[in-house]
Chains A and B, each alone.
Chain A
Amino acid sequence: MSETGIGKSVKRREDLRFITGRGRYTDDINRPNQAFAVFLRSPYPRARIVSVDPSGANEIEGIIGVFTGKDLAADKLGDLPCGWLVKSKDGSDMKVGPHPPLAVETVNYVGEPYGVVIAETLAAARDGAEVVVTEFEELEAVVALDRATKSAQIHANVPNNLCYEWALGDADATNAAFAKAAHVTKLEISNNRLIPNAMEPRAAVASYDAASQEFDLVTTSQNPHLERLILSAFVQLAPEHKLRIVAPDVGGGFGSKIFVYPEETAAAWASRRIGRPVKWTAERSESFLTDAHGRDHLTKAELALDKDGTFLGLRVKTRANLGAYLSTFASSVPTFLYGTLLAGQYRTPAIYVEVEGVYTNTAPVDAYRGAGRPEATYVVERIVETAARELKIDPVELRRRNFIPPDAFPYQTPVALEYDTGNYGASLDKALIKADYTGFAKRRADAERRGRKRGIGFSCYIEACGLAPSQLAIQLGAGVGLYESGEVRVNPTGNVTVFTGSHSHGQGHETTFAQIVSDKLGIPFENVEVVHGDTGRVEFGLGTYGSRSLAVGGSALIKATDKVIAKGKRIAAHMLDASIENVDFAEGAFSVRTSNQKLTFGEVAFAAYVPSNYPSTEEPGLSEKAFYDPKNFTFPAGTHIAEVEVDPETGAVEVVSFVAVDDFGHVINPMIVEGQVHGGIAQGIGQALMEHGVYDEAGQLVTGSYMDYCMPRADDLPNFTIDTTVTPCTHNPLGVKGCGEAGAIGAPAAIMNAVTDALGVVDIPMPATPERVWRALYRA
């Protein structure tokens, strides 16, 4: 195997530009004659816009224009859509509150943009925004999630602020399971609202060419083709072929850059309106207010067990906060990405889940790293741990008794998914060794002597990655397909340019995708270049989210590479005067099985472009495209074990050890995979102990900066112990499952199980801040 092939920790090729300061992020890009945009934002959680008076701004030197939602509406721009139509359990469609890119009649969360000031300089635009006088009529705001359905009505077409009442599973079978249960464990828990905080704030540089009627929009997107589709088909900014979206280097996304936002939409529109490029870069305060937030659930869960601790049924009722409007994929997160995961790693025969999707006057809530699956894992793993404590069964043993055994795959869960493969006991066993579970009692006693309370917590999570398949998803309301496209373009001299519809914003696709294609073609890694993030260069794509890039985007490239090899064989067979069946391709050469004749990959590529000795039935050229539509989700799974120590005097929690053993199927680049796991764990620990997006009763975001929103820093975290087990995915050509979200999915439950173990309490809400922990002890 080559040093750069599949399975090798190849150093990332994108790093050289980043470590030398040569990355090219959206805000680094400037256009000649560009103007600057600053948005007018609502100071109120809910208000009617009475009037907007821009006269003060218009007197400031350098102001080009002040535009409001009315101007966009007059140009017939459509609403920002939600791409997944969820149906309520009574069969009715979800109720969608209208979401104009800039608010027209009412504003519905603090920070919602209702206008934009365009000026020659950023300073002038800021000055202008400050003196625009807007008269609002404040309306009663809906802030508290638990009371949201009994509060004022936010959208005229949405009674009780209820977007949908969704259900999944067999209610009768589940009720029957509870009726015969020897023990029922009940848990009421919340999943805290998070603010994604990719380090690069969102930004856009939009240009419009009146002669060609073409837009060029550079923006911080995880999926530029989707952005193009939405801006064209729904917002009707311009036809798709007149819209080019470029997502250059993007500084992290974690879901928050999947969505189509008001700002880039308005910036693009304004560039046409004023006939000049328009640039906008969010300040971090704007990111806090308006990047789609994540999580925010209230849940009641019940687990029915027989006297031996076998799970009989799980009943879950969740209220999910959707915020003021449905963001691009908001509706699917607490439903299809949540309810379907409630089987976890267990054979629970009957599961029933109901989810209320509820509007509030807060920022829209949508997918954030894990998206639904951390919430599901949190419910399952917290209630399983609680049941173990109630029944006085070792939490490891209780899990083991209920695992889906390795010989039961493919396994149909009671909540729609069919797991293709897995070996949960193997991950658990390895993690127990890594965590030295048998030594825990001694460590706890040592901690006790030092005046600290030590706890251990487990989380045996499952996730579903690479959403699939398209047909089923579309039947279930998805507005887009779930495939990915790839193109392998062999240049005449034999090097290769790969085009992928996946987008890399930290994941290292430029390296990993070059590894798989060079490995497959048997050519040097250096000879493969990866292009992504530009609708002008890449045919189509659905972008990067849900840990799908390698499993779906990588598979598309394998498919395209297979086509290249197949055509290469036909060309080689002709050139070597052999029959196709006798031509083999290995290690970068076409050879004839029945002779010692050989052609290198480069020779065949050259022949394809300079076709002299060439099959008459073949078109010249060697470039192949493929769309890969996965047959099923992939199901990464694993065991995370956390150990924490609590300082009982202050309530401070220290994570002293964190072990993660994950089954991602085959691993292409172990170094990159480990990095993904590290980052996910950090975000999971952040959710459990530090991060919380908090609105006060008046609807103001009180955690609107790094002064108050607690981001994990280096000294908040330990070194992580990472390992893997492998059961290859059965239905994609690489046997891969996806690794981007596992850490964020598994960690919160592991940490909170450890914290509650240390404290000896059933639950404390996330984040387990020092004061909350101190109060839990103080109460006890």
Chain B
Amino acid sequence: MVPELRRRHRLIWQIGALVLILGFCGAVWVLPKPGFSASLVQQPHVVFPQVLTTKKVDEFSFVLRGNLQGEKQLEVTIQKPLTIPSAQIYWQNNFIGSLGSKGVQLFLLPKELVQKGDHVLEMRSALDQSAFQKITFTLRVQIILPYNGTVKKNTMIAS
């Protein structure tokens, strides 16, 4: 091997040693914890108890859920693998998360995006942002009257 080639090899491996060791340590550092998926990091782990409405469109099932604190949650069930390589979900034109593979996924809906009236949910391809599924949820306020006749709480219901 000519000295010039030797010098190139030496330089490559000096830089390579640094890159490989730093990269290796970085990859170990960000190793996911068991049972935790980073792609679902924004998604809640607790299923809210109250079912506000359910919808089924093609291979998707949607359940809009709520809890006693008035928070809302969207449960999406994908019954067969998506043909879109990377799909995102939008609520009222706001990105709320990426859709994973087949299965049940939960998305927390920001309070300011869940008001009385119609709400549009769109599923878009991450590649060209084209919507391949569009569903409308209508929310209205229902007043629950307990037995003593006094107004206890305004509860949002959906259809």
Q: Do A and B bind each other?
A: no
